[in-house]
Amino acid sequence: MYASGRNIDWMLGLDVIVGTALIIGSACVLNNVLDVKIDSKMRRTKQRAMVTGEISRKNAFIFASVLGVIGYAILLLFTNLIAFWLGVIALATYVVVYTPLKKRSYIATFVGAVPGAIPPLAAYCSVRDVIDLPALLIFLNMFFWQLPHFFAISIFRKDEYKKADVPVLSIVKGDELTKKVIIIGIVAFMLITPVLYITDHATVSYLLGCLVLSGYWLFRALQFLPKVDSVRWARKMFGVSLMVLSLYSTLLALNTFLP
Residue 4: pLDDT above 70? no
pLDDT in tens, 141-196: 999 999 999 999 999 999 999 998 999 999 999 999 999 999 999 999 999 999 99
Q: What single-letter amino acid sits at 17?
A: I
Burial of 222 (0-12, 13-18, 19+ CB in 10 A): exposed
- The span from the CA of 121 to the CA of 140, in Å, is 10
Strands (E) located in the chain: none
Residue 114: inside a domain: no
Angle between helices 57-78 and 10-34 (to 10 degrees): 160
Residue 118: inside a domain: no
- 142 and 72 belong to one structural domain: no
- 259 and 165 belong to one structural domain: yes
- 75 and 144 belong to one structural domain: no
- The span from the CA of 216 to the CA of 242, in Å, is 13
pLDDT in tens, 185-209: 999 999 999 999 999 999 999 999 9
- 232 and 136 belong to one structural domain: yes
Over range 103-126, report the average pLDDT.
Answer: 95
pLDDT band at 37 (very low <50, low <70, confident <90, very high): confident
Residue 1: pLDDT above 60? no
Name residues whose C-beta falls within 8 Å of residue 154's C-beta, 6 or more positions apart in sequence. Answer: 106, 109, 161, 168, 169, 170, 171, 178
More confident residue, 2 or 52: 52
Q: What single-letter amino acid sits at 251?
A: L
- The span from the CA of 205 to the CA of 221, in Å, is 24
pLDDT band at 2 (very low <50, low <70, confident <90, very high): very low
Percent of the chain with pLDDT over 90: 82
Residue 184: inside a domain: yes
- The span from the CA of 173 to the CA of 236, in Å, is 21
- The span from the CA of 239 to the CA of 156, in Å, is 12
pLDDT in tens, 70-109: 999 999 999 999 999 999 999 999 999 999 999 999 999 9
- 145 and 235 belong to one structural domain: yes
pLDDT recorded at residue 28:
94
Residue 99: inside a domain: yes
Question: Nearest 10 degrees: CA dihedral of 142, 145, 151, 156?
Answer: -120
- 41 and 153 belong to one structural domain: no
Range of the domain at 210: 132-259
- 100 and 137 belong to one structural domain: no
The answer to whether 186 and 218 are in contact (CB under 8 A) is: yes
Number of H helices, E strands in the chain: 14, 0
Residue 124: inside a domain: no
- 101 and 136 belong to one structural domain: no
Instruction: Write down which residue in 67, 87, 105 finishes a domain.
Output: 105
- 101 and 180 belong to one structural domain: no
The answer to whether 123 and 138 are in contact (CB under 8 A) is: no
Residue 125: inside a domain: no
- 148 and 248 belong to one structural domain: yes
Q: Please work out, in degrees rounded to the nearest 5, the angle formed at the alpha carbon of residue 106 by the alpha carbons of 102 and 112.
A: 60
- 80 and 173 belong to one structural domain: no
pLDDT recorded at residue 6:
55
Angle between helices 81-92 and 57-78 (to 10 degrees): 160
More confident residue, 144 or 42: 144
- The span from the CA of 150 to the CA of 185, in Å, is 11
- What is the domain count for the chain? 2
- The span from the CA of 241 to the CA of 182, in Å, is 11
Residue 181: inside a domain: yes
pLDDT recorded at residue 156:
95
- 76 and 198 belong to one structural domain: no
pLDDT in tens, 5-15: 556 788 998 99
pLDDT recorded at residue 53:
87
pLDDT in tens, 246-255: 999 999 888 8
Instruction: Write down which residue in 87, 105, 123 finishes a domain.
Output: 105
Residue 28: inside a domain: yes
Give the gyration radius of the chain's Cα atoms.
Answer: 19
Domain of 24, CATH number, reads: 1.10.357.140
